[in-house]
């Protein structure tokens, strides 16, 4: 709090007493905590979205691989039983 009170340019804008500075410090702390919580939530959501996107892409690749393998197997079985 002494750093805020000792700032050279602070009295230029307004005359501040100890209560105003205390309120400012509390508001600044609350804003910082809210920002950190919001940043964490956004990061978690982004990670989940990326994981789901990668999972969907991998499932599509696996599905394509399985359908190609099934097609080759059926072609092979048709050719061998004729």
In angstroms, how far is CA 9 from the centroid of its own chain? 37
Contact 4, 21 (CB under 8 A): yes
- What is the pLDDT, as a whole number, of residue 79? 60
- What is the pLDDT, as a whole number, of residue 58? 82
Give, for all 82 residues of the chain, the pLDDT tens digit: 677 667 777 667 667 778 888 898 899 999 999 999 999 999 999 999 999 988 888 877 776 666 666 666 665 565 665 5
Query: d(Cα 77, Cα 59) in Å, to the nearest integer?
Result: 26
């Amino acid at each position: 709090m002494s750093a805020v009170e000792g700032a050279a340019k602070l009295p230029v804008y307004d005359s501040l007493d100890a209560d105003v500075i205390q309120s400012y410090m509390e508001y600044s702390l609350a804003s910082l905590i809210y920002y950190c919580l919001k940043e964490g939530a956004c990061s978690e959501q982004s990670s989940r979205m990326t994981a789901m996107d990668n999972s969907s892409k991998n499932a599509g690749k696996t599905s394509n691989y399985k359908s190609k393998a099934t097609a080759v197997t059926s072609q092979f079985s048709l050719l061998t039983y004729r």
